[in-house]
Structure 1
Amino acid sequence: MMLFAPGANPTDLTNFIGYCLAHNAERYGIQVHASLWMSDHHHTDVTDPDGHLVPFKQQLHSLVARGRNARLGRFDSVWSGDDPCDTRRPTDDESLMDLVYSLTNPVKAGLVKWSWQWPGFSTLGWRFGETRIFERPDWFFDKAGGMPEKVSLTLVRPAIFPELDDDALYAKLMEAVREREREIHRSMRRRGRKFMGVRKLARQRWSDVAQSVEERFTVAPKHAGSSKRRVLVEIGRDREWERQYAAARALMLAGKPAVFPAGTYWLRRFAGVAVAAQAP
């Protein structure tokens, strides 16, 4: 369902999403590099320096779901039960294209011709280091509660292309966005398709259902990429992590001191085991 359809007056929704994202990013130390919320899903690119991605997502999605249901007067589920799509990109170029994919998603979906026309929540146009303020929605949060009246979200530069300064990286990102948009335009013309446009998009109802059908019961590889060598490196990295985890678990069960590899989540949170520091 199009539960995040921006509608004719998207200001209320974009402020609510921005408030929830900013609050939880600050709470869990998450660095946000890009975020765009479509009518039925979102793309958010982050760095998780302290290993708090799981509670960050849980609290963000819970808060957004409860608030959206309250605003729409409904009581059903907001998020589907599908597995999350969390990806890690090993190269600077692939990380940059992830940002491009997120920011151009409304164009790829045939909704608007240019990404800047998307009326929903988007960080397109934010410069790295730019901070924006979001106000506490008075229709959902209790004024006497513990939620702050205002929260701020600063767009953090991702750790890619260190030879470029912030302005040069922003220019590189915007050029890649324009090129991706032009590629989509050419594809749309070849297929004889037209964009929905902002006017029709404003009439989209939250109760509408997506017309596309998700492909199911197919192989979902754990590692995928254009470079086979890179894929093999990632597979080797995961296998080494599993060996370290198994060795630490064996020591723990034997009653001996054990340090689990960085990335161990459940045992760190619920059993208080020692975990190695995250690599820079």
Structure 2
Amino acid sequence: MSQPRQIAPGATYLLTRRVMRRHFLLRPDAAINQLLVYALAVSARRYGIEVHALCAMSTHLHLVVTDVQGVLPRFLQFYHRLIALGTKVLRQWEGPVWDHEATSVVQLVTQAAVVEKIAYVLANPVAAGLVRHAREWPGVKVDVGDLGRGVLHALRPSAYLNPKNPQWVEQATLSLALPPTIEQENAEAFRLQVAAELERQEAQAHAEAEQQGRRFSGAERASEISPYERATSREELGARNPTFAVGRNQGDAWRTAKAAVCAFRISYRTALKQWCAGVRNAVFPVGTWWMRTFHGARVNDATLAA
């Protein structure tokens, strides 16, 4: 049985979803890039999600978002379904698009974690040995200068969306938002922090490539590889999938975050035990999503009003 996950309004997350068996189905080209941006813009608007950063790799997607309304599962279901259906048409793909593993959802509980994970998302093509600098990646991405002020645009993909359906607008736009911990007057300082961390991660990737005698394949080759091929690089099996991140050198922030997760899980299990025993007025902890959404369970929202 999986651990219960707290879905609280206003939380910021690093989201990662992987393609089935590491096929290059999301290989960057005009049609796939259009689909990814359009699907994200429509889905984010529908569920009130604020998007801070993204990078679409050929085998997986990275997003950093804030779930303003506490509806992250609904957003992920809608967004990933749109991409899967569109990819099936564009690639003439009959099997599943997404890996059987659930989306990786890592809550970013400090500003340091937000800075590091946004830089991690942007640096992903460099860390993968595809391009020497993040700005060279031909797939859907955000540049440091766009953080909190860029706007993504995409026309409606003609492959499978019905133009007569009003929910599929002709052109979708997505304004990139600053993370909620960043005030507008501090936006430029925030972008400088991300730029410095991105430079550090790029330098680390360059050093590792040189040490291992690897060359960067380049944007052109990444765009030309067959989407039906699979990544052959070694990937650790059974790797840890963290619940939260606090960033480097954050003192007791890790212990505080861990204690909060443990407290939620204990409170949740206590309420679930009561519920299973027939106590329908059992009160679940704030951030309980599944039991509230599908079973109408009571949730203690007092802390949200505080």
TM-score strictly above 0.5: yes
1:203 CA drift (Å):
1.9
Aligned to 1:79: 98
In the alignment, the residues of structure 2 paired with residue 228 and residue 171 of structure 1 have an alpha-carbon distance, to the nearest angstrom, of 23
User: SS of 1:116's equivalent?
Assistant: helix
Contact 1:70 1:140 in 2 (8 A): yes
Is 1:175 the counterpart of 2:199 in the alignment?
no
Unpaired runs of at least 5, structure 2: 1-22
Is 1:16 the counterpart of 2:35 in the alignment?
yes
Aligned residue-pair number:
276
Contact 1:30 1:46 in 2 (8 A): yes
User: SS of 1:210's equivalent?
Assistant: coil
Aligned to 2:27: 5
In the alignment, the residues of structure 1 paired with residue 207 and residue 108 of structure 2 have an alpha-carbon distance, to the nearest angstrom, of 27
Contact 2:105 2:243 in 1 (8 A): no
Structure 1 stretches of 4+ moved >6 Å: none
1:130 CA drift (Å):
2.7
Change (3 A) 1:229 1:108: same
Unpaired runs of at least 5, structure 1: none
1:158 CA drift (Å):
1.0
Change (3 A) 1:217 1:180: closer
Identity %: 28
In the alignment, the residues of structure 2 paired with residue 93 and residue 206 of structure 1 have an alpha-carbon distance, to the nearest angstrom, of 36
In the alignment, the residues of structure 2 paired with residue 200 and residue 218 of structure 1 have an alpha-carbon distance, to the nearest angstrom, of 29
In the alignment, the residues of structure 2 paired with residue 142 and residue 112 of structure 1 have an alpha-carbon distance, to the nearest angstrom, of 37
Which residue, 144, 148, 170 being the options, matches 2:164? Answer: 144
In the alignment, the residues of structure 2 paired with residue 192 and residue 176 of structure 1 have an alpha-carbon distance, to the nearest angstrom, of 24
Output the aligned Cα RMSD. 2.5
Contact 1:95 1:160 in 2 (8 A): no
Aligned to 1:214: 235
In the alignment, the residues of structure 2 paired with residue 254 and residue 217 of structure 1 have an alpha-carbon distance, to the nearest angstrom, of 38
1:236 CA drift (Å):
1.9
Aligned to 1:102: 121
Change (3 A) 1:276 1:33: farther
1:249 CA drift (Å):
4.3
Bigger mean CA deviation after superposition, 61-70 or 125-134:
125-134
User: SS of 1:123's equivalent?
Assistant: coil
User: SS of 2:51's equivalent?
Assistant: strand
In the alignment, the residues of structure 2 paired with residue 200 and residue 221 of structure 1 have an alpha-carbon distance, to the nearest angstrom, of 33
User: SS of 1:88's equivalent?
Assistant: strand
Partner amino acid for 2:265?
Answer: E
Give the TM-score taking structure 2 as reference length.
0.81
Aligned to 1:234: 257
Aligned to 1:122: 141
Task: Report the structure, 1 or 2, having the larger strand content.
Answer: 2
Partner amino acid for 1:38?
Answer: M
Aligned to 1:191: 212
1:223 CA drift (Å):
6.5
Change (3 A) 1:246 1:213: same
